A and B are shown apart, each in its own frame.
Chain A
Amino acid sequence: MSEKIFHGVPASGGIAIGPAYLYHSQGLTVSRRKLKPEEVELELKRFQEALAKTRSQIKGLEEKAKEKLGEEHASIFSAHQVLLEDPLFTEDVARIVSSDHINAEFVLHEALEKFKTVMASLNDEYFRERGGDIRDVGNRVLRNLMGKGDKEELKKLDKEIILVANDLIPSDMVNLPTETIKAFCTDVGGKTSHVAIVSRSMGLPAVVGMQKATMDIHDGDLLIVDGNKGLVLVNPRPHIIEQYRHLKEEYVAFQKSLEAFKNLPAVTPDGRRVTLAANIETPLELDDMARHGAEGIGLYRTEFLYMNREENPSEEEQFQAYKELAVKTGDHPAIIRTLDLGGDKFLSHLNDSEEKNPFLGLRAIRLCLKRPDIFKIQLRAILRAAAYGPIKIMFPMISSLSEVLESKVLLQECAEELKHEGQVFRSGIEVGVMIEIPSAAIIADILIQEVDFFSIGTNDLIQYSMAADRGNESVAYLYDPLNPAILRLIHMTVEAAHKAGKWVGMCGEVAGDPQFIPLLLGIGLDELSASVSVISEIKKIIRMMPYEKAKEIALAATRVKTSDEVFEIIRDNVPAELKAILF
């Protein structure tokens, strides 16, 4: 038994240790047979019967999937039913059988192989993965034609195993005895393959895309599946197993421990309280928010209201959406960011001229100030909804004082109009701006005179400061949150706000990265807003990190010259129990 390590795609998080169980999708050997003219009719009938049988099998699978995995996962089988009605099955095979006098199995097999090659050559991962769906349906017809029963049913296993397969197609996943499976590894597949999606929803670790790895794994080999890193260890040495057992316990305990933090405040051991809020992209996430223990919303994106439509959303439609937000967040504050479109986001009806450089073009507040007719509809809706809860308003992409002043004038106009109309609305709504352009950070002391709060948007702040698109692989290395230039801009922003007696938050991705939290705390941010899924983890870190120590880290970080040094300062100065989690 030799030790081996395989790398694959981490498709679903977690760690599992257990014996391998190899699942072979039964190979089918298809031979070519010349038919006598009088046999053709019978062959066609045989093929029709196989199709009919397949139809009813897929229907059965759909029912089973609905029961076992839920409606959403079952819908794949309604697509399989459409696949089965493909002209390939309903016309082409029969035509070739009739004209060439060749057995149906062979004709079908040839056609499927051809599709397999085409699908495998596609550039797009999603579509490449769909080759599995076509194989699933095609092989089912073949098996029925050849009189072979349904695939090897996984026996009711009495012990826990790690399922290893070349590929797991939807009909496999439905038939799995989920109680005894601890993890999945497959040769093929990516993050969007069926096995990845289903294993995430079942909460089981999975590593996919291991190339030919399963050829080197045998039934009963002891496996460690690390779904966090995308590693599979085969027959590891005892001390490695011991290490992983430990890691697994830690991981499970950590996940579990997070639940305990849900209802606790985000406060450091020495009493520094910060607000931990959620970034919300669609209203669907509102219900998750409380479940994860967020204290309000630090960034409510409004773009979803405008995307993929021909006309702008009406004041009433927006009012209803914002009112729902106010009602659902209750006493917690919710910060609505006004329309942030342009740049990367496609908006068919507002974008009337092609821009050479959209990220430096007419986007967000610039677009809104150019189109006050559209902007005021949103401002009116926000003011009206704010009567139902502590809603605040935030302007994105501010680069100069005049943009803040102009926006505030429009907001004031809207308030006066509403008052004149006798509408219910909140007067004196809190107004903030996003600090995401270097110029805004540099004049933060000027801007803060006009607003109630700042929220630092790190994604754009880093991109615009470093002049680097992180989506561009050649320059992505420049996208570095710990670069001293970025840290200085953050410091300047925080200092300016605090000097004026106002609060400052952060709503970029950096605020949701556990490793950065000690530094951000130390810099003095009053609010951190991150995606719902990481909130419990961030809260745990805050509750373990003494503020005094965090301040020392932040101060030391201002005295070094490179981001590597900043990283080392964080790593070497957090309490040992936190270091174990973060590094």
Chain B
Amino acid sequence: MKITEKLLVINKLGLHLRAAAELVKVANKFKSQTTIHHGIQNVNAKSLMGLMTLAAAKGTELEFECDGPDAKEAITALKQLFEHRFGEKE
């Protein structure tokens, strides 16, 4: 199964190192491959180094593509992570 969803970075600091590390941890919980499309870039959501090259500040919209048996669960978990600002206060 392949699911695509756009997620908005709403935390103040953007997808900075620690937030991106949280994203990797969540993506790693699932078997599905998750690719993030942003402009001409495509990066593996399980790669912290790839995520850093996105330089996604607050307000950036990223397109997530989950492909695999648990794609639906993966996308739900990722969505939650973004909505909760990666566990950050602001």
Residues of B within 8 A of A115 (CB): 49, 53
Known: A87-B44, A87-B46, A308-B10. A79 touches B17 (CB 8 A): yes
Q: A530: shortest Cβ distance to chain B, in Å?
A: 23
- Residues in A553-579 with C-beta less than 8 Å from chain B: none
Q: Which of B10, B12, B24 has the most CB of A within 10 A?
A: B24
Q: Are A86 and B16 in contact (CB under 8 A)?
A: no
Decide yes or no whether A124 CB sits under 8 A from chain B: yes
Q: Are A86 and B90 in contact (CB under 8 A)?
A: no
Task: Render A67-107 as a binary contact track against B, CB cut-off 8 A, 1 for contact.
Answer: 00000000110110011011110000000000000000000
Decide yes or no whether B48 CB sits under 8 A from chain A: yes
Task: Render B36-53 as a binary contact track against A, CB cut-off 8 A, 1 for contact.
Answer: 000000001011111011
Q: Are A86 and B57 in contact (CB under 8 A)?
A: no
In the complex, what distance in Å separates the CA atom of A79 from the CA atom of B51? 13
Instruction: Name the residue on A nearest B55 (C-beta).
Output: A127
In the complex, what distance in Å separates the CA atom of A37 from the CA atom of B49? 30
Q: Are B18 and A308 in contact (CB under 8 A)?
A: no
In the complex, what distance in Å separates the CA atom of A214 from the CA atom of B53? 28
Task: Render A290-310 as a binary contact track against B, CB cut-off 8 A, 1 for contact.
Answer: 000000000000001001100
In the complex, what distance in Å separates the CA atom of A126 from the CA atom of B90? 17
In the complex, what distance in Å separates the CA atom of A115 from the CA atom of B48? 12
Instruction: Name the residue on A nearest B8 (C-beta).
Output: A348
Q: A230: shortest Cβ distance to chain B, in Å?
A: 25
Q: Are B53 and A118 in contact (CB under 8 A)?
A: yes
Q: How many residues on chain A are close to B (CB under 8 Å)?
A: 26
Q: Are A119 and B53 in contact (CB under 8 A)?
A: yes
Q: Are A308 and B85 in contact (CB under 8 A)?
A: yes
In the complex, what distance in Å separates the CA atom of A348 from the CA atom of B59? 12
Residues of B within 8 A of A83 (CB): 21, 48-49
Residues of B within 8 A of A29 (CB): none
Residues of A within 8 A of B57 (CB): 124
Q: B84: shortest Cβ distance to chain A, in Å?
A: 10
Instruction: Name the residue on A nearest B85 (C-beta).
Output: A308
Q: Are B47 and A82 in contact (CB under 8 A)?
A: no
Q: A247: shortest Cβ distance to chain B, in Å?
A: 36
Q: Are A127 and B52 in contact (CB under 8 A)?
A: yes
Q: Are B49 and A88 in contact (CB under 8 A)?
A: yes
Q: Which of A82, A85, A87, A115 has the most CB of B within 10 A?
A: A82
Q: How many residues on chain B are close to A (CB under 8 Å)?
A: 24
Q: B38: shortest Cβ distance to chain A, in Å?
A: 12
Q: Are B53 and A82 in contact (CB under 8 A)?
A: no
Q: B70: shortest Cβ distance to chain A, in Å?
A: 19
Q: Are B90 and A82 in contact (CB under 8 A)?
A: no
In the complex, what distance in Å separates the CA atom of A75 from the CA atom of B16? 13
Decide yes or no whether B6 CB sits under 8 A from chain A: no
- Residues in A146-168 with C-beta less than 8 Å from chain B: none
Instruction: Name the residue on B nearest A111 (C-beta).
Output: B49
Residues of A within 8 A of B48 (CB): 79, 82-83, 85-86
Q: Are A124 and B55 in contact (CB under 8 A)?
A: yes
Instruction: Name the residue on A nearest B90 (C-beta).
Output: A308
In the complex, what distance in Å separates the CA atom of A348 from the CA atom of B90? 13
In the complex, what distance in Å separates the CA atom of A119 from the CA atom of B12? 21
Decide yes or no whether B25 CB sits under 8 A from chain A: yes
Contact of B18 among A75, A119, A124, A128 (CB under 8 A): A75
Q: Are B18 and A79 in contact (CB under 8 A)?
A: yes
Q: Are A86 and B17 in contact (CB under 8 A)?
A: no
In the complex, what distance in Å separates the CA atom of A82 from the CA atom of B21? 6
Instruction: Name the residue on B nearest A81 (C-beta).
Output: B21
- Residues in A115-131 with C-beta less than 8 Å from chain B: 115, 118-119, 122-124, 126-128, 130
Known: A79-B21, A82-B25, A126-B16. A134 touches B44 (CB 8 A): no
Task: Render A432-469 as a binary contact track against B, CB cut-off 8 A, 1 for contact.
Answer: 00000000000000000000000000000000000000
Decide yes or no whether A172 CB sits under 8 A from chain B: no
Q: Are B47 and A122 in contact (CB under 8 A)?
A: no
Decide yes or no whether A63 CB sits under 8 A from chain B: no
Q: A572: shortest Cβ distance to chain B, in Å?
A: 44
Known: A122-B53, A123-B55. A130 touches B17 (CB 8 A): yes
* 10 A-B contact pairs sorted by A residue (CB < 8 Å): A79-B21, A85-B48, A88-B47, A115-B53, A119-B52, A119-B53, A124-B14, A124-B57, A130-B16, A307-B90
- In the complex, besides A130-B16, A308-B90, 17 extra interface pairs with C-beta distance below 8 angstroms are A75-B18, A79-B21, A79-B48, A82-B21, A85-B24, A86-B24, A87-B47, A115-B49, A115-B53, A119-B52, A122-B55, A124-B14, A126-B14, A126-B55, A127-B16, A308-B10, A308-B11
